[in-house]
Structure 1
């Protein structure tokens, strides 16, 4: 679709472009929930399963910025992004569908997994870049809201819809999610402009591409004594993301192997956490405007650990659903404020630099989190998953508070 008329901004087009992020979140949610259970057919250690689950984030840090930058520079008759999407999305969908059928041997399962992860990495940055490619800068905040809403819907469908099918046949969530990804690919192929009007501006605005640049440029600056407060805030984000990502990756193991829940019940229970975050994201932003970003984050960082510590005392899934729902509310208080807070640290001239650092610190924690909290579970028992997560939130609270104190003392 080319021409002046096709290039004009429309929320309808943004909604279709959001289907790419919808498919991304749908597939990742199914993967994070049920891949640990499939790996459990071969591997009993939660730590080893967690290490495998962290592989996607390692690939993300290593390859996504490279691929994103590549897609900024390449010029083809299909445009900049579509060549990567055409290869990555169908390949990712196919190998995602094949994952639950690869249980004949561990090496087959791992081989399928690696190809799937590489394919997801290939298309992730280009599909995220489609929104700013088609959106003028003054409309990107609202367009990004549409994109994130689509992603939240994908996660909820995975946990409340597809989760119910896992007990019927463990391959069904993978088949349906993969099929929806293929459908999203078809929609994108016939909708996105081959030469979108704002693509030239997107290269310097792509957040995930900035991460690798920030790793080189930002660390030298952030380690200087005058930036110590900012560094402490970034460390706080790294630490609490360990707790969040670890629980997300290991909860299905806790629910099935410790509580005796079915795979479907595990996914549905975790869904209450995601549902709370989606419902409370906007109110959390308004609360942040009232109380300040740091103060709102501190409330969440102190509330979530109390709830985490309560969960091991209950075996009732209904009670755990309620507790996880409230944890989701607390997580919204933390996560909704985090990126705007870090962006503010950069001022008007270094927003891109600190955006990249935010992505880098949060993605780096997701590499170690599943294995680290899995190790706690292996050594200290399944309930230690929530104890360890609570500890990370409390530690992050003190880092955040000290970072904010240092920043205020410099003013």
Structure 2
């Protein structure tokens, strides 16, 4: 019994589309909301949480709806086709309104020139140079804050690191406030952008569950672990493709850029990949082949019928602790993935795409050795290692400055290894406590806790970053604190750490890639 790799790769094209979209979405939508429409960190976080709110309701709905679908193209393919085409069309539409807002800001303000001006300021800029910016801000509250800080220095001095971060952060808030004044005065473009964004997220939600369900539909149970691993690799390839596109187009650092090339390119790739998917994937035929194979080989997908609704008290405590850990480390990790595209250019004066690419690459490379280590150390110990490393990584970023920004590449490389250590083992620990027919229910627990964190953390981290006394620099201490808390909850877990079975190299990629 061998996995049909070619067939699985073609089926995985649907997941590649999904990952390509979300990587692009997370990278550029935050910057558009903050820089061009002038939303603060809190409100931009609320918008960025919208996809996870929708996911809580729409993913189960469309997954269940596809189960009941009887179409000549199959149960899942119609959703992949309609969802991808709608999302691609709407994504291109977003580019028009992004360009319209940029044009409006260039016509009505001097924001682009001001952004380009402050991007030339570095840690070596003198107080005299910063005073020129403060004067241009007038009596704005942020201008007053900057002036008060500068009053403690003489003209030829340079700012200490803390004051430098405060001054730069205040100036970026001032520029966002200017963008918000334009948006609030004539909000039509912003309203249409948000409505179209909402529709795009709905379109993406229509086919994620069907796309993920397609692989088990066409793959016999004994080969689904390998199949899911290959699907995850396809998704990772999609995410890396998005990062490379942003780098090639030079869109990963500057704020006032036209994202049309990113929107259009990603949409075209989505449609082209969909065309290949339709050409190579005949869902009804593949499903029938799987059924015929199982009949021929007398393979029965047996589910345990015993009632497992009640866990022992000790196992219930472990389940609660594991799910609490999942919530906590997603609170930390997702805050970084959501806000890094805003943090890296404005705090470290560097692009964000290369660090993200390194993190993705090290995570993928790390799956194999981490899988091997997990079989020897156990899941819990490997997770604790990953959590400790992730805490160290996030804490260290706080101390990275513009002059030492190259260290971010190293830190995010280690972050990829840390996150892989957690992902390889966390979901299996949850389902280890389930039996047979309870697997779906326990999978639901896992995603409920992870999505709840992904809804809350962009808003909470944004709220703290909006506080003048904290600013953007609070992002990584915030994330490190939540990850550290997850170490404490995971430390007391006593169950779910069954000895891992021997796996093939490919099966080490069978993890949740979110």
Q: Distance in 2 between matches of 1:194 and 1:9?
A: 17
Q: Does 1:300 align with 2:390?
A: no
1:80-95 matches, within 5 Å, as: 80-95=75-90
Q: 1:45 aligns with which of 40, 63, 77?
A: 40
Q: Distance in 2 between matches of 1:43 and 1:381?
A: 16
Counterpart of 1:125 in structure 2 is 209
Given that 1:342 and 1:355 are in contact with CA atoms closer than 8 Å, whether structure 2 keeps it comes out as yes
1:210-289 matches, within 5 Å, as: 227-261=316-350, 265-289=351-375
Q: Does 1:14 align with 2:8?
A: yes
Counterpart of 1:211 in structure 2 is none
Q: Which has the higher helix share?
A: 1
Q: Distance in 2 between matches of 1:142 and 1:225?
A: 32
Given that 1:230 and 1:407 are in contact with CA atoms closer than 8 Å, whether structure 2 keeps it comes out as no
Q: Distance in 2 between matches of 1:189 and 1:348?
A: 34
Given that 2:359 and 2:412 are in contact with CA atoms closer than 8 Å, whether structure 1 keeps it comes out as yes
Counterpart of 1:195 in structure 2 is 284
Counterpart of 1:213 in structure 2 is none
Q: 2:242 aligns with which of 142, 155, 158?
A: 158
Look up the SS of the partner of 2:465 in the other structure. Answer: helix
Structure 2 stretches lacking a partner, 5+ long: 102-188, 252-256, 292-306, 499-514
Q: 1:384 aligns with which of 461, 468, 474?
A: 474
Q: Distance in 2 between matches of 1:406 and 1:144?
A: 21
Q: Distance in 1 between matches of 2:463 and 2:283?
A: 47
Q: 1:365 aligns with which of 449, 453, 457?
A: 453
Q: 1:403 aligns with which of 493, 496, 509?
A: 493
Moved over 6 A (4+): 199-202, 222-225, 405-408
- State TM-score, norm by structure 2: 0.70
Given that 2:383 and 2:425 are in contact with CA atoms closer than 8 Å, whether structure 1 keeps it comes out as yes
Counterpart of 1:106 in structure 2 is 190
1:277 deviates by 0.8
Deviation digits for residues 229-264 of structure 1 (CA, Å, limit 9, x no counterpart): 211111110110111111000001111222333xxx
Q: Distance in 2 between matches of 1:222 and 1:154?
A: 39
RMSD: 2.6
Deviates more, 1:103-112 or 1:32-41: 103-112
Given that 2:430 and 2:496 are in contact with CA atoms closer than 8 Å, whether structure 1 keeps it comes out as no
Q: Distance in 1 between matches of 2:246 and 2:311?
A: 43
Given that 2:14 and 2:80 are in contact with CA atoms closer than 8 Å, whether structure 1 keeps it comes out as no
Q: Distance in 2 between matches of 1:242 and 1:199?
A: 42
1:226 deviates by 5.8
Structure 1 stretches lacking a partner, 5+ long: 1-7, 203-216
1:406 deviates by 11
Q: 1:72 aligns with which of 67, 74, 77?
A: 67
Deviates more, 1:175-184 or 1:340-349: 340-349
Counterpart of 2:113 in structure 1 is none
1:201 deviates by 10
Counterpart of 2:273 in structure 1 is 184
Deviation digits for residues 72-112 of structure 1 (CA, Å, limit 9, x no counterpart): 01112222112212211101011112223213321121111
Q: 2:223 aligns with which of 97, 115, 139?
A: 139
Q: Distance in 2 between matches of 1:255 and 1:393?
A: 20
Counterpart of 2:92 in structure 1 is 97
Q: Distance in 2 between matches of 1:274 and 1:226?
A: 34
Q: Distance in 1 between matches of 2:199 and 2:362?
A: 33
Residues 222 and 59 of structure 1: CA distance in aligned 2, closer, same or farther (over 3 Å): farther
Given that 2:220 and 2:290 are in contact with CA atoms closer than 8 Å, whether structure 1 keeps it comes out as no
Given that 1:166 and 1:172 are in contact with CA atoms closer than 8 Å, whether structure 2 keeps it comes out as no
Deviation digits for residues 259-298 of structure 1 (CA, Å, limit 9, x no counterpart): 333xxx2222222222211111121111111100001000
1:57 deviates by 0.8
1:194 deviates by 4.0
Deviation digits for residues 110-151 of structure 1 (CA, Å, limit 9, x no counterpart): 111111100000111111111111111111111111111111
Given that 2:95 and 2:264 are in contact with CA atoms closer than 8 Å, whether structure 1 keeps it comes out as no
Q: 2:25 aligns with which of 31, 49, 60?
A: 31
Q: Distance in 2 between matches of 1:87 and 1:223?
A: 45
Q: Tell me the number of residue pairs that the alignment of Structure 1 and Structure 2 aligns.
A: 383
